[in-house]
Structure 1
Amino acid sequence: MNAFRFDWNERLRIHIPVLDMEWEHYAVNVQLEIVERWEWIRGTIPDRVLEFEQLINKKQAELFEEESFEQSCILNYEIADYASRINDLHIWSRIDQQLESRRHS
């Protein structure tokens, strides 16, 4: 058992690393395996960001035409949710720097 996995995160639409131990406790070959897999996943993040940006643009266009205050509030909530997802994806995209720096310490 490797004591790590990558769980699907439906909200972000990517697999997220789940480490059951501190990074330093993994063997170097396991660290490399984790980093390599994460690099592949991380490479899909720009596609997810673009997908969410397109949804935001669609919702903003709907909001521009919307006359119902209640529906406008719903659209604003949805826009904020997609923006939050983009922010979270940007945070996850920087994880490789932390793994790499810890790996070389």
Structure 2
Amino acid sequence: MTGFDDRERAFENQFARDADLQFRIVARRNRLVGEWAADKMGLTAEESDAYAKAVVQADFEEAGDEDVIRKLLGDLLSAGVEIDEAAVRAALDAKGVEARRQFIEGV
């Protein structure tokens, strides 16, 4: 039975590591897309940093990306940036690829 228990424990540990990595990638993606949006809104460096952190926090409101998309789209439109939901989703996808690449390269 210990062989089975060892494999089960190893699987659980791998699952936890994978979940942690995915969480970190999504958080980095959200930070990157927050910086992208801050640049579009013309925020200062300090404001950009605070805004990027706010985007990361917005992801904790509900499961999935809709909360982040809603925040980005609302803030961009409020700032007078002409953008649509498709462009925000495209930026989110692009920053997701960049975040994953950064983790792979150890940046």
TM > 0.5 fold call: no
Q: TM (normalized to structure 1)? A: 0.32
Indicate the structure with greater helix content.
2
Indicate the structure with greater strand content.
1
Larger Rg: 1
